[in-house]
Amino acid sequence: MVAGLALLLAPPLSARADELGKNVFTQIAQPACAICHTLKAAGAAGTIGPSLDELKPDKARVMDAVKNGLGVMPPFAGKLTAQQMDAVADFVAKATAGQ
């Protein structure tokens, strides 16, 4: 009964994925994406990399940059899990309406 109640009270999967994506962006990735990028949805105002709010990248573009790096941005493949990379790519694309 308690397990069933926990499932009812848990946030939906999409909300948990969005929360994970935001946490990867702001804290989990090292260096954190928020240090370099501006993204209003994450409360980030970095100026080293492009403003993601202006760039409005789609999920595939974010995923490629996260996995392989881009310019001075380091690759995060091997540093983040596949789930973390997927969550941050989805979070950025949704937050910027780049999807």
pLDDT in tens, 19-76: 999 999 999 999 999 999 999 999 999 999 999 999 999 999 999 999 999 999 999 9
Rg (CA), the chain: 14
- Is pTM beyond 0.75? Reply is yes
Helix (H) or strand (E) holding 32: none
List domains and CATH numbers for the chain. 13-96 (1.10.760.10)
Do 44 and 25 form a contact (C-beta atoms < 8 A)? yes
Confidence of residue 1 (pLDDT cuts 50, 70, 90): very low
